[in-house]
Amino acid sequence: MADKRMFSLKIVDSDLFLDMPLSSQCLYFHLSMRADDDGFVNNPNKIIKIIGANEDDLKILIAKGFVIVFDQGIIVITHWKINNFIRKDRYKPTMYIEQKQQLYQTDNGAYISEEKVGCHLVNQRLSSGQPSIGKGRLDKVSIDKGREEQSTPIFYGEFKNVRLSKEEYKNLKEKLNSHTEIMINKLSRYMESSGKTYQNHYATILKWYEEDKEKLRQKGLNKKMNYDVGESL
């Protein structure tokens, strides 16, 4: 197995990657350094403990699509073939053949799990590590990926710790209007200062808004009145 690893700026310089907490970014680099020549890692929990990260960092990598998880805790780096090129005379195939057979590979080299591609690609399964998705089928994959991105969490707030999908953020803008960022930052600051986390940040913000709605409305009225008085003076 090669002892050197590479990273593509197309991946690690993207907003999707840089929006993650530094601990999640660090975990990505450590997982990649310890992956086999096909990008598989069989001990992510051990690596998490060694570098002082936590399970949430791995969950973020999974949610954002930077790693794919299998049964028994085995993971694979999604963009492994984009990051790395290993000479054939140094390449050692992975021992996780069963997991590799559950993957597909797009034209740019990214892995896609079988469940996300769909059964219509059953005959295109990876067996030799070669790209095997045709252009027509890739169009379908791109559509599915677009839908998936709508539900992929993005981190908002002053401390980039409020987890919302694009659809959830859009719904908040429609429901909360000008109070959206106020409520997001309120949750962000509270979690940062208290160390508490919430299972569903979207639902928490909606709940807090219902509790604060009247205060926010009154505050807005008072601010408007102050402006009106200033104008009349």
Kindly state the DSSP code that residue 126 receives in the 8-state scheme: -
pLDDT band at 148 (very low <50, low <70, confident <90, very high): low
- Residue with the bigger pLDDT between 219 and 111: it is 111
For the stretch 195-200, contacts whose Cβ atoms lie closer than 8 Å and that sit 24 or more positions apart, written own/partner, are 197/56
Residue 145, SS3 per DSSP: helix
What is the residue range of 67's domain? 9-151
pLDDT tens digits, 33-58: 999 999 999 999 999 999 999 999 99
- Residue with the bigger pLDDT between 41 and 102: it is 41
Domain boundary (113, 134, 151) is at 151
- Res 149: pLDDT: 54
- Are 136 and 161 in a shared domain? no
| pLDDT exceeds 90 at position 14 | yes
- Are 27 and 135 in a shared domain? yes
Domain boundary (89, 123, 151) is at 151
Q: State the Cα–Cα distance between residues 233 and 230, nearest whole angstrom.
A: 5
- Are 161 and 93 in a shared domain? no
